[in-house]
Chain A
Amino acid sequence: MSNLNAASLYENLQQPISQYYDKSSNLTREEYFYKLSISTTLYLGNLSIYTTEEQIFELFNRVGAGVRRLIMGRNKETGKAIGFCFIEYFNHEDAKEAHEYLDLLKLDERAIRVDWDIGYSEGREYGRGTGGNQVRDSYRKVADPERPNVQQNRGRGRSYNNNGGRRKQADEDESDNSGGGYKKRAGNRSNNNY
């Protein structure tokens, strides 16, 4: 099929593929963003720690040929879900569709962030922050009962500028407690006890 892509006319107005560059990937920026441009993997962030794999799968499996693999982010010490995951599709086009049309929409009453990822490799499912959680939870200004409860520990750990974290700008929006009055679920189901 020819280039029937009108959106490309407005390319100069488009956002870069991702604001996030993972320095621990050991890739140069060029290599990193090239991998993103052909990636079939998405990073989902701002998930509730109570959101189940089935919930994520139910929504994201509606795209294209469906989800190839889902890897939940976990605390290395406790094995519990820490509010992110990787979704792998069979091709880049399906991943792009999910990225374009599911980003910033709600799942389990939280606006989820859908970002490109270079691809899962062993170890990337663990949080790199305090106590095995995500770094961003260490810097949380507002308590969020749907995220890991981390002791605020300013001054330690890696410092991030505005571009360092995955859309850190949105932190204030992320403690989305809409639908208040819900009960905390007793424990979560994502653990490594297979």
Chain B
Amino acid sequence: MLQIQHQTPPEINRIRQLICRAGDEGADTFKKDLQKIVDVLGEYYQQNKQEVKDAMIQSFIQCAKLLPLKSGIYATILALLSTKQITQSLTDQIILGLLEHLPQIAQEETPILGQTILKFLSELMNVGLLNTVSFVECLYDLEGGAENEQSPFYLQILLTTIPHAMIKAMEKNQIEFKNIIQNVEVLMTKRKTEDRLFHLWQSIRNFLNNQEKDAHTQIFQQFLKTSYPRPYLLFPDEMTQVRQLRRGFKIPIVKRTQIWRPQQILVLNDEIRSQNNNKTDIQIEITRQWIYETIDLFKTNRQQIVFQFQLYQNCIKLSPSQEAQFRQTLIFTLLNMVIEVIPRKDQLSTAFYSGLLIHLSQRNSDNIKEWNETIEQFIDLMPQNNILIIEQLSDCLSHYFCNSNFKLNWDKFFGKYNPDETDSINNYLVIMIFRKLFLLVSVDKITDLVPKNIIDWYNQLQDITKPLDIEQISLAEKINSYLQQKLNGIEMLEQLKLITNPNPDIVIQTFLECLLQCISKSITHLNVLSKRYLSFLLQPNIIKPEKLGEIMLQTIFRMWNHSVFHLKVYLKEFLNLEVISNLQIINWLSDIIKQKSDNFKIYNVLIAINDVFRKQTKLDQVQDCTYENVKEINTILSKMIEQEQDIIIQSSLENIQLQILIAFKSTNGSQSEKLLKEIKSTQIKQIIMSF
């Protein structure tokens, strides 16, 4: 890995820094900085020291691979260096080095490596270092790979390369390039999903169609305007002196078995798009692809990811409307990633996105009003049929609001609540956002910052920090006194046995209710008391485990159906303690839905179960993860999905089904293959196989 280290000779470190940080100084001195880098690197190359040359080659290779914003910058530097005869072999070796990395593409789980390498190679073609004919042959290679693979891995690489290569390719090799476009058209018509590939393809197709109509290349000129991604535009005279390499190369296409799924784009931000023409803007799609790449490449370091976005904004001289478009694309892309609820292997947490959104907004404090308005626009366009989307979005927004100094257009959010529509999805959204917000920040701290009507409305809702009341009051009083005495499990059992009651289950149930009341005081109470008491209940001859699990789940629902937070926490805790099992949870869910409980209570339970099952994918021990159990769970869920009329509940059930199957796959791969064969839906199989 390219690292600046103290043991390394200073000149090597300097070379690495120069190349890595090329263009970081900003747009004002950009041309001068590039020229300086070229001069310095040229001088180093002239020293003819092998380690210096190797450092230069490796630096270019690593940076070209990992810094997609700078592909054009590196191509320009190499083009300028090539005009100095002495460095001609440098580009040769860099390309060879990159080609050696190409077989690695097939081993990757995502196409990012392929995308960035091909983008760089297309920029080398744009500056004249690479032969157009041989580059177009590469596109044929990718197209061949795309035809033969089930998932759109190579297709993604091909589509993301086309925008960067198309102008030169159309200019120098129009017939072959048009042939490729026609073949891609065929490949894309076979795909039916509207994901990021679909929108990228639409924008490419529209651009090319318009370009044909507009022979004077006005659109081309607009597309080529910004110099930071294409700095070779700043050196027109020098580019005529670039010596082209007569090298041909091939993209090695290897048959892959791993499935890759492109991200969904559920909410579009293209202002050009209209219902009639269905056009998309290519610049938006290119920006969107770059945002995906940057997040993936820099996600381990928040400072760097924020720096990259600032670099884009500072160095690409955007007009006010372009700036607005970039801001909208950025926010919409981030929020689209938040609301992508169908499981993905590379899905990051809502805390990642909300944290990133906050840090980025803090660096755009001059435009914070526009920033917030864009978020409001997104919410207005959000799909209205999925409560898991509401859960993810409310996570993100509640955290964002906490860090916004509360200078928000409250009417925009709270205005969605309609007291006359008790079950509406908008009402659920508003309740979720404010419940989470007022969990993250105490209401009494912000009474001056939030409108009074919202505070009053919130105070009327069921308090999510308190459970509902216990039914058997006198029995509860007795049990509570034992709990206050801090009896251990055995002592408690002895006391409970002494209680005479015609229905022994009522004693256990009341005990559990009292226990749930106690453990609701804090997370620590939960940890201590549940271990102290629940473990003794699991002993044989006290109560059958199935019965205990059933009573436990019924009690949790009765007392906490208004609080997603507590449902999640208790389900997870009791699963870990093996008081309840996944199968019992699904049966319990089925009963709740059959009983036609209030919709919002059902939604709370669905969200909690989805969350708990999702987190099981990363745990070492998955409860009751046997083939028979999971098969039974799958059968029950499939039946529920089939019978369910409400699409909101149905979509959540489908997600829960996916989560448990994915959890099973990650812990018992061979058995899960057996189960997958019995699943009819191709889409479900594809999703599970992508993990």
Cβ of B142 under 8 Å from chain A: no
Among B109, B351, B358, contact of A98 (Cβ-Cβ < 8 Å): B351
Cβ of A12 under 8 Å from chain B: yes
Chain B hits for A50, CB < 8 A: 442
CB contact list, B293-322 vs A, under 8 A: 296-298, 300-305
CB contact list, A35-70 vs B, under 8 A: 50, 52-55, 57-66, 69-70
Among A53, A58, A65, contact of B524 (Cβ-Cβ < 8 Å): A53
Chain A hits for B2, CB < 8 A: 8-9
Shortest C-beta distance, B339 to chain A (Å), equals: 14
Among A62, A109, A180, contact of B441 (Cβ-Cβ < 8 Å): A109
Cβ of B29 under 8 Å from chain A: no
With both beta carbons as reference points, the residue of chain A lying nearest to B568 in the complex is identified as A61
Q: Chain A CB within 10 Å — which of B17, B447, B522, B528 has the most?
A: B522
Cβ of A135 under 8 Å from chain B: no
CB contact list, B96-129 vs A, under 8 A: 104, 107-110, 112-113
Shortest C-beta distance, B147 to chain A (Å), equals: 25
Shortest C-beta distance, A32 to chain B (Å), equals: 21
Q: How far is the CA of A142 from the CA of B66 in the complex (A)?
A: 46
- Stretch of B71-79, B398-406, B469-477 that contacts chain A: B398-406
Q: How far is the CA of A1 from the CA of B17 in the complex (A)?
A: 26
Q: Are B4 and A12 in contact (CB under 8 A)?
A: yes
With both beta carbons as reference points, the residue of chain B lying nearest to A14 in the complex is identified as B301
Q: How far is the CA of A52 from the CA of B112 in the complex (A)?
A: 42
Q: How far is the CA of A15 from the CA of B555 in the complex (A)?
A: 49
Cβ of B449 under 8 Å from chain A: yes
Between A and B, how many residue pairs show CB distances below 8 Å?
170
CB contact list, B437-485 vs A, under 8 A: 439-442, 444-449, 465
Q: How far is the CA of A53 from the CA of B440 in the complex (A)?
A: 11
Interface of chain B: mostly helix, strand, loop or mixed: helix
A11 with B349: in contact, given A6-B67, A70-B524 (CB under 8 Å)? no
Q: Are B355 and A105 in contact (CB under 8 A)?
A: yes
Q: How far is the CA of A6 from the CA of B110 in the complex (A)?
A: 15
Q: Are A101 and B352 in contact (CB under 8 A)?
A: yes
Among B107, B445, B615, contact of A2 (Cβ-Cβ < 8 Å): B107
Q: Are A4 and B352 in contact (CB under 8 A)?
A: no
Cβ of B219 under 8 Å from chain A: no
Among A61, A64, A70, A190, contact of B618 (Cβ-Cβ < 8 Å): A64
Q: Are A70 and B523 in contact (CB under 8 A)?
A: yes
Q: Contact string, B32-76, partner A, CB cutoff 8 A, digits 1/0?
A: 000000000000000000000000000000110011000000000
Q: How far is the CA of A64 from the CA of B448 in the complex (A)?
A: 34
- Stretch of A116-124, A155-163, A164-172, A181-189 that contacts chain B: A181-189
Cβ of B498 under 8 Å from chain A: no
Chain A hits for B403, CB < 8 A: 105-106
Q: Are A7 and B445 in contact (CB under 8 A)?
A: no
With both beta carbons as reference points, the residue of chain A lying nearest to B67 in the complex is identified as A6
Q: Contact string, A92-104, partner B, CB cutoff 8 A, digits 1/0?
A: 0000111011110
Q: Are B302 and A101 in contact (CB under 8 A)?
A: yes
Chain B hits for A179, CB < 8 A: 406, 441, 445-446, 448-449
CB contact list, A82-137 vs B, under 8 A: 90-91, 96-98, 100-103, 105-109
Taking Cβ atoms with an 8 Å cutoff, the residues of B that contact A are 1-4, 13, 17, 20, 62-63, 66-67, 104, 107-110, 112-113, 296-298, 300-305, 348-352, 354-356, 358-359, 395, 399, 402-403, 405-406, 436, 439-442, 444-449, 465, 486, 521-525, 527-529, 565, 568-569, 572, 615, 617-619
- Interface CB pairs A-B, < 8 A, 10: A3-B1, A10-B20, A55-B440, A57-B569, A65-B618, A91-B618, A102-B355, A179-B449, A180-B448, A194-B528
